[in-house]
Structure 1
């Protein structure tokens, strides 16, 4: 990658990925786009363009004018939001993806878009979910993600587009507030622990889901995009993970630094039903074997870092 276009740059991943990409590839070589404009560093620290991803013509014009060689398509509605507005989610998630893939095809760029553990469903094996397995999701978000995986494979096989992707677990970050995902409790719990010393979880006790700290997720995107294409057997939607945790496990890790932290529950039936359809843990061995995927943070190291950073930020 030398000149990169990123959609959804003000979202959870984009707001941190943009800065890392600019630090790595140069400020002028990373074009951030989003449907809104703010005073955020993403907007001020390098090229920024307003973009509605359902406007394929505008996306193409931006990509061509900056002569990008890579497109990282992040713009999407997340799981809980998508379930509340399923038709709107299909329009944003699928029209936006098709437009981004078309830009990559026409301009012969490299292409990345994230998938998710939401691409799995209730009939998928729950423990150490394999790279290749049954995918019959029961949510609009999951359906969008499976479709995105298949479309990315199609554009590679049919048109030769260098498509790549990761099936992300829940991503935990102290930088950007939660944005409507089922796993967002794992972000909220740290904020409330530092601010209030207590948290009410909308996900039930004993509900295990895979998670990853954002710095590891950002490294995984760059590592995959820079990987030798000849070694990629799967190419799109590699399983990646750092830990499988439930709310109690996170609370226990927090109490090492905030001993009085209190956790209780008020389960949200919609988000709980989504979580129940997802794996307890996934197998990331294909990513490790094909391009050397690795993580630096487990639950303990992540918790120590987040609490320190949040105390500096909030207190």
Structure 2
């Protein structure tokens, strides 16, 4: 990667990815775009930023050509919970936006990355050690768009020799950006509530296991995959990746190691619970390890400690994070 064009740059992933890409490749070699502009966000103020609706293919192509990008990282999408509330919008943004991005990448001969998700699986998928290649019959609009996106990226690679690459992200946990409407958002919200109030009401049932990843590992995974030797990539699109799998009780106990007074109760959200129940409990990530040496740095305990320390400074709470 030398000149990198990113869509959805103000989302949960993009907000941190843009900063990292600028550090690694230079401020002038990263073009951040999003449908909205936030003049208080470093993504918009500390480098190249241009507003872009991914449904505007003409503008997208013009920007890519003028920037002379060799890589596109397409992040713009509606997430799982929001997509269920607005399924028609989710299809337009997640699929029409992806098609526009693929076409721009094809015409400009760019390398291309877009993330899939554990939402691409469904209730009939094996839940334990979910294989890289397995049955995918999701029951959510978000999941349907992610499966279709995986297939579409495979098609562009086979049909046009476009260098497409992608991963199936699990739930992503970040102290930098608030969650944006995903089913795994509770795993971010719980840290904020623990520090602010010492208590959290969880919308997901105890015993509901889902794969998760700390954002620094997710960012490095994108960069590592895009820099990987293409000759070693067999699957290319939608590699299973994960750092950990836990249920709400596990994360509660991890937080209590550092904040012993923290408490949690439950008020189950039926919509979120139904989505979570359709997803795997634990992914098999061996293919990513074999093909591009994927290896996350954080587990539940080290992530929890880092999250609490970083959020304590960010929120500026007077309550100490006990060690």
**TM-score when scaled to structure 1?**
1.00
Tell me which residue corresponds to 1:224: 225
Tell me which residue corresponds to 2:69: 68
Deviation, 1:51, is 0.2
Q: Report whether the alignment pairs 1:118 with 2:115.
A: no
Q: Matched residues in 1 for 2:178 and 2:119: separation?
A: 20
Instruction: State the secondary structure of the residue aligned to 1:13.
Output: helix
Tell me which residue corresponds to 1:11: 11
Deviation, 1:12, is 0.1
Instruction: State the secondary structure of the residue aligned to 1:63.
Output: helix
Deviation, 1:178, is 1.1
Deviation digits for residues 31-86 of structure 1 (CA, Å, limit 9, x no counterpart): 00000111200001111011000111110011111000000000000000000000
Q: Matched residues in 1 for 2:243 and 2:268: separation?
A: 25
Q: Matched residues in 1 for 2:202 and 2:21: separation?
A: 34
Tell me which residue corresponds to 2:35: 35
Residues matched between the structures, number = 315
Instruction: State the secondary structure of the residue aligned to 1:54.
Output: coil
Deviation digits for residues 192-218 of structure 1 (CA, Å, limit 9, x no counterpart): 001110001111111000000000000
Tell me which residue corresponds to 2:188: 187
Tell me which residue corresponds to 1:171: 172
Q: Matched residues in 2 for 1:221 and 1:167: separation?
A: 11
Deviation, 1:100, is 0.4
Tell me which residue corresponds to 2:145: 144
Deviation, 1:231, is 0.3
Tell me which residue corresponds to 1:127: 128
Tell me which residue corresponds to 1:85: 86
Tell me which residue corresponds to 1:244: 245
Give the alignment's Cα RMSD to 1 decimal: 0.4
Q: Matched residues in 2 for 1:211 and 1:13: separation?
A: 14
Q: Matched residues in 1 for 2:60 and 2:183: separation?
A: 29
**TM-score when scaled to structure 2?**
0.97
Q: Matched residues in 2 for 1:240 and 1:197: separation?
A: 31
Structure 1: which 5+ runs fail to align?
none
Deviation digits for residues 270-289 of structure 1 (CA, Å, limit 9, x no counterpart): 01000000000000000000
Q: Matched residues in 2 for 1:285 and 1:248: separation?
A: 27
Instruction: State the secondary structure of the residue aligned to 2:28.
Output: helix
Tell me which residue corresponds to 2:279: 278
Deviation, 1:144, is 0.3
Tell me which residue corresponds to 2:321: none
Structure 2: which 5+ runs fail to align?
318-323
